[in-house]
Structure 1
Amino acid sequence: MTILHTARLRLEPIRDAHFEGLQAMNRLPEVMRYISGAPETPEQTREMIERVKARWAEWGFSWWAFIHLASGRVAGAGCIQYLDRQPGNPHEIGWRLHPDFWRQGLASEAAEAMAAFAFDGLQAPELVAVRHPDNRDSAKVMERLGMQERGLGTWYGADMMLHGISAAQWRARRPLR
């Protein structure tokens, strides 16, 4: 399992030891507002951890816990997975942060590392992301990654905006990589 590093974060494949930090984030209505619309119960967080561990074993990629280096806390979580969790669909990138870590550039920092993993490590031909139409903060992170809005579609049982970037577009925007 791959651990990723940024200037301020260590992205660790989610495991049981991350439960408390993940639950502290996922139980907050403001975190889940644009994801499921409802706070997660402890049982739902445990089930998510089990699903994620299985995906790491099967696919070799899934969700990471974002460990804030200065505090040691779980600052957020993010993923590379198949869109709508269906192998054969494009690779999807996603993230969420605990409100204590909002507006510090950490989502963009983590997203850059995860996108590099998808394109350089997995050789993904493209990377997509979905967001609730009202989630402008995630749209800004997607724009910083070089993603283009592709339109509204139904993903994960809800109407979501789809954004994407090809591997060629990714490499063209990062010529020094």
Structure 2
Amino acid sequence: MEDPPPADAVQSRLTSRLRLQPVGPANVRDLLLVHDDDEVWPWYGGERPSLEQAERQARLMRESWRLHGVHKWIAYDRASGEVVGRGGLSRTPVDDDWGQIYDFLPGEPWVRVAHGATRPFVAHANWLELGWALRRDFWGHGYASEIGRAGLAFAFDILGVHAVVSCTVRHNQRSRAVMERIGMRYVGEIRSRGMIEGVEGERDDAPYAVCVLLRSDRDQGTGRGSAARSA
């Protein structure tokens, strides 16, 4: 019997233009390259990220890949090898903040079920969050949609979850457009810590637009998306 492929080989994906590699300590510099981009970091707080912060994030992502079976990818251009961005899925903590999403999901028991792993945090088992961040040089070329569709395929076809949600601050119209372009449906707003248009710094009550795609809708053809193959 052949040995099973390494976890990274299963969790990595190829799209038509991108190689998506699970984030871990080996990708710290590439993760920082994305988060330190002049057009990216202002969406995530009031100051540029440090190398130490990127190292902590990469360790958390690797731990989540290992214990939760999912987290974000670094997206590399398949032709040039350049770092395009980061994106993909993550499990959401079972807490009051993410509990706001319950109002937008079916009133069924699976919504509140916790994942079996309690590290690196207690997370929801049956629905995931989808997101992306691209370096400014790669905006406007469909890469975010490509990452998003790969995430939906991984969520539904590989992990078999019931739903995927995506959230962005209300005034991030570009990200909202990507969500709807890949077949997700706007369902309402929540309030959480983040940026408010026209206000300096982060606030605890920033409005976030929420989009959702249920597996049942995708299976019925209500949602759109194309599968990505494993690397």
TM normalised by structure 1 equals 0.90
For 2:79, what is the secondary structure of its paired residue? coil
Greater Cα offset, 18-27 or 139-148: 18-27
| 1:167 matched to 2:221 | no
Relative contact order higher in (CA < 8 Å, ≥ 6 apart): 2
**CA displacement, residues 40-80 of structure 1 (integer Å, 9 cap, x when unaligned):** 11111111001001101111111111011122122111121
Which sections of structure 1, spanning at least 5 residues, go unmatched? none
**Higher CA-based Rg:** 2
Residue range with higher mean Cα deviation, 140-149 or 31-40: 31-40
Q: Could you say which residue in structure 1 is the equivalent of 2:101? A: none
CA contact under 8 A between 2:39 and 2:135: conserved in structure 1?
A: no
Distance 1:149 1:18 in 2: 33
CA RMSD of aligned residues (A): 2.1
Match of 1:112 in 2: 149
SS in structure 1 opposite 2:211?
A: strand
Q: TM (normalized to structure 2)?
A: 0.70
User: Does 1:99 find its partner at 2:141?
Assistant: no
Q: 1:39 offset after TM fit, Å? A: 2.2
Corresponding residue SS for 2:70: coil
Q: Which residue in 1 is equivalent to 2:53?
A: 44
Instruction: State the aligned residue count.
Output: 177
Q: Structure 1 residue 159: deviation in Å?
A: 3.0
Selected match of 1:127 from 149, 158, 164: 164
Aligned partner of 1:153 in structure 2 is 190
Q: Residues 176 and 58 (structure 1 numbering): CA distance in 2 closer, same or farther, change over 3 Å?
A: closer
| Structure 2: runs of 5 or more not aligned | 1-6, 94-120, 194-203
Distance 1:146 1:36 in 2: 28
SS of 2:43's partner is coil
